[in-house]
Amino acid sequence: MSDALDFSTVAGLIADPTRSAMVAVLFDGRALPAGELAYAAGVTPQTASAHLSKLLNGGILAVEREGRHRYYRLAGPEVAEALEQLSVIGGKIPARLKPLSPEARHLRFARRCYNHMAGQLAVAVTRGLLERGFIAPLPDKRFELTVTGAHSFEGIGLDTRSLRPTRRGVARQCLDWTERDHHLAGPLGAALLEVFCANDWLRRSKSSRALRLTPAGRLQLRRWLGLEI
């Protein structure tokens, strides 16, 4: 998070229920138009515009322009991390969501959350890694990579020795907004997504953040982690 945007600033900006609902639907890294954010918060487009301006000026959101359209997204992973921590403290943020389309259902099952996996599949994989002792929980919402885990990751083509730790280590817990449980993030989470795609266990969508589990991936996850997807 930049020096100009501290934790108290984030907390103050999302203290308003309308702004909380808006940022809640952006947790998975998507960029959405103002109209959809207004719907999620249950306010008029005019009211939404005023709140979006505050979130933009406060560094919480960034805007992308595509022709005449404007799409809003979280300003970066540091902002998402701060919001994640606040949501854990404050509980579930109410947001009015439209009925799930087929694409939305794909996103809920498996998607990219910045550079790592999110959704139902990511939560299941993380549970499998924990149950087999490949990772272990640590304080401050971190994961420890175990010796057993390092050997197992090497077996699927992930070179754990090449991982560069951040200030929170090589692995951390990221709250999955749709599942209300944690999935694996950090350098290990990013590397795992790359290996899954390289092995053709997962395939990236060309039009969205959705990830598709292949038949080979379904089989290998059963063999590796005992997951029945």
Task: Please state, in angstroms and rounded to a whole number, the distance separating the CA atoms of residues 53 and 125.
Answer: 38
Please determine, for residue 4, whether its predicted confidence score (pLDDT) is greater than 90: no
According to the model, what pLDDT value does residue 12 have? 80
> Is residue 199 located within the same domain as residue 175?
yes
Out of 6-20, 54-68, 131-145, 159-173, least confident range: 6-20
43, pLDDT greater than 70 = yes
Task: Give the CATH number for residue 24.
Answer: 1.10.10.10
The residue from 98, 115, 140 where one domain ends is 98
CA pair distance 219, 221, nearest whole angstrom: 6
195 and 220 assigned to the same domain: yes
pLDDT, position 14: 81
The answer on 93 and 149 residing in a single domain is no
Do the beta carbons of residue 171 and residue 189 sit within 8 Å? yes
Tokens describing residue 199:
């092995």
Our count of domains for the chain comes to 2
For residue 208, what pLDDT band results from cuts at 50, 70 and 90? confident
* pTM exceeds 0.75 for this model: no
Give the pLDDT score at 144.
Answer: 97
Same domain, 193 and 88: no
CA atoms within 13 A on the CB side of 86: 21
Q: Which uninterrupted H or E stretch holds 38? A: helix 34-41
Give the structural domain span for 174: 106-225
State the pLDDT at residue 171. Answer: 97
Residue at 143 is within a domain: yes
